[in-house]
Structure 1
Amino acid sequence: MSVHPVEAAVSPAQRAPLSLPKLREMAQRGERIAVLTAYDATFARCMDDAGVDCILVGDSLGNVVQGEKSTLPVTLEHMAYHTRCVAQGRRAAWLVSDLPFGSYEASPRQAFDSAVALMQAGAQMVKLEGGGVTADTVRFLVERGIPVCAHLGLTPQRVHALGGFRVQGRDEAAAAQLKADAAALAEAGAAMVVLELVPSGLAREITLAHPGMLTIGIGAGAGTAGQVLVMHDMLGLTTGRRPRFVRDFTREPGSEPQAPGLSVAQAFARYAADVKAGCFPDEALHGY
């Protein structure tokens, strides 16, 4: 069965390719950064055309693509394959790819080899999970020309050690540890950090303390430099109970259940617009 090439139905205004300096400039002038996950060329092209700034090839593909109960079974080969697919679809968006569980923890050299595989597949930045213990690895990668996105708070690859999907940093000691981890990662050269399931006030503190490290929130309130959601969640395809921090962007807020929904392309555009306008997340509805 043949299919049409991956092309936008309507040619969008051509955006200049985004880079780390341009993303930093956006944050400096107060423009929020809109990030979504993607796993193939078609959705990546659609997001890019809709104005999404960054595309994350997340190891969440284990859950939403492979049907696994966690991200742990995802391999480096899986990540490289999906990164290559997404790279074929993007035009201007900055492309970040997850280092999967078991591909970077043993040593900085292991992390470098894994990062090279993802960069050769088309990634422009790699993401790894964990706090200060990963600072040496971050520094090793950055010194070798590999941009790094860190990930703090709820780190899905460590979900068993954390006791499940719970908000992190609620008590004073845990908050202090998160701030210390963020400082160590910023000092090591992490250019970006995902803050997942972190109290809004704490995420805002980390953002203000480290203006050179772009904070991307998911369940971390509106005080970060940008926001990220898993594509399937924001399209209303969440399996089971929808997390508090998720909004279904195929539905207009307050619309009746029988009202026509938005198309996928419209949902991506609405997400990007609402993140940039500060309409999403709503602290009362989506924050902790």
Structure 2
Amino acid sequence: MKFLESLLNTLMLSLVELFYLVGLLIGVGFLLGVLEKYSNKFLFKTFGPRGVLATAWIGTPIHELGHLLQCYIWGHRVTRVKFLQLNSPSGVLGYVEHQYNPGNIYQQIGNFFIGMGPIFSGIGVLIIGMYLLVPESYQTFREYIVVHISTDVQDSNDLMVIGRAVLAITKSLFTIENMLNPLFWIFLVLAISISSHIALSRADINGSAKGLLMIFFVSFITNLVTSFFGIDTYVFITRLTEYNAYVLAFSSIAILFSIITLLISYVLYKLKTGW
């Protein structure tokens, strides 16, 4: 009976750790997917296929670059890459084909991060673009991260972290000085294009699911071993809480511009069809 109770506790602990490790990242991916779906829907109704393709020139290559970089990180063999194809009969704008050894645990875990790659590359390019094109706004956001995320992480829930981060970015970006700066408008076009193609496809989600199962398996085995030796993993969960606060704060950049893209696409659709 004690063995079954211990096994059940280890199972629950592994599920909690899995949520803290990747759950919020999956949630961000789902939210971005919903925002992108409706943005593209309004753009398609307003301009036809050209409405979606207008942002694909920038957004799709960055999306596929995310997959590609993660393939290299996790040791997968890349067999074929198409960063952008505008005339595909299937409507697929780009893809990365890769192979891996099913018996390699590291490469199996990599499937999750390869599927999630566009979120990493999209957020990364947005941050780099902010740093290069609107450095004052980047500095303000950086200071927000240092002050609030580092000190208030234990006292904030997930929605508060996202909300405060979005508010901080909005205040730092949409200023009179930036409005008069041509580089700001370049960044805005870049950000909208990236956010329009940052969400995961069905194939991306299916690939990530394979890696997610392996992550859970490794976590469960690790917890069994640590439980046997009486090692407390609570500190690890605490660290994951802090990590998630950073994930949410940086993800807020993509969420903000996805919302802006949705609003713009909706207004254009209404202007065409009439209010």
Structure showing greater radius of gyration is 2
After TM superposition, the score normalised by the length of structure 2 is: 0.25
Name the structure where strand makes up a greater proportion of residues.
1
After TM superposition, the score normalised by the length of structure 1 is: 0.24
Name the structure where helix makes up a greater proportion of residues.
2
